Amino acid sequence: MKFFIDSANIDEIRDAASMGVLDGVTTNPSLVSKEGRNYRELLDEILEVVDGPISAEVVATDKEGILKEGRALAAIHENIVVKIPLIPEGIKALNVLSDEGIKVNVTLCFSPTQALIAAKAGAAYISPFVGRLDDISHDGMDLIEQIVTIYDNYAFDTEVLVASIRHPLHLAQAAEMGADVATIPYSTITKIFKHPLTDSGLERFLSDWKESGQQLI
């Protein structure tokens, strides 16, 4: 299973990368806007820190505009994956870009049939948003199960990239379901380490060691 970080914050990306388990990065216009930085400079920095797929999203909503922005983003670096919204114009552009050998991450997926059409059009990744479905009282993880089944049934190469992850349980369920990638916000990465028994266990080991009066090195 691949771990991406869902962030445009360079400090978060650096810290996650230093753990040695980071395979890629996803960004979106909202995350980029929060940073208040020049998008191109930010992408260059991210590309220096992480040697893996970096999703950069278009903001055009018509086929020609998406093609123009998508080609420009892809030309920056071979690791750039062009992120395109799941709308009819996006699917038309996806067909062209994938024929040109450009990798596309199709975003804002909320249904199995949306995922099916994206795979048929040649998406490298599909990004179903689990947290936003949970927000409206639909079980987001049910969608992951459906997409994994559909893609397995027809041996699609499109990778299932679980997005809008809000907590470690989403990650555990995604792994159980066999999702290819999880894009994890920094706040959730830090929560993975939090367990009261880990904290109290470590505290006990350290106080016992101190009492023993021994030196390790």
Contact between 4 and ligand G3P by CB under 6 A: the answer reads: no
Residue 107 CB, nearest approach to ligand G3P (Å): 6
* Other beta carbons within 10 Å of 96: 18
The candidate with the shortest Cα–Cα distance to 52, out of 81, 10, 23, 93, is: 23
Dist CA 79 CA 146 (whole Å): 29
Site for ligand G3P in 25-64 (CB under 6 A): 26, 28
CA distances from 102 to 33, 44, 46, 99, 162 (A): 25, 18, 19, 7, 21
Residue 28 burial by CB count (10 A; 0-12/13-18/19+): exposed, middle or buried?
buried
Span interacting with ligand G3P, options 33-41, 126-134, 169-177, 208-216, rule CB under 6 A: 126-134
Phi then psi for residue 109, to 5 deg, are -95, 125
Residue 186 CB, nearest approach to ligand G3P (Å): 12
Contact between 178 and ligand G3P by CB under 6 A: the answer reads: no
**Which residue(s) pair with 165 in the sheet?**
none
Residue 95 CB, nearest approach to ligand G3P (Å): 23
83: annotated active-site residue: yes
Site for ligand G3P in 128-167 (CB under 6 A): 129, 131-132, 163-164
Contact between 9 and ligand G3P by CB under 6 A: the answer reads: no
Residue 134 CB, nearest approach to ligand G3P (Å): 10
Contact residues: ligand G3P, CB under 6 A: 6, 26, 28, 129, 131-132, 163-164, 183
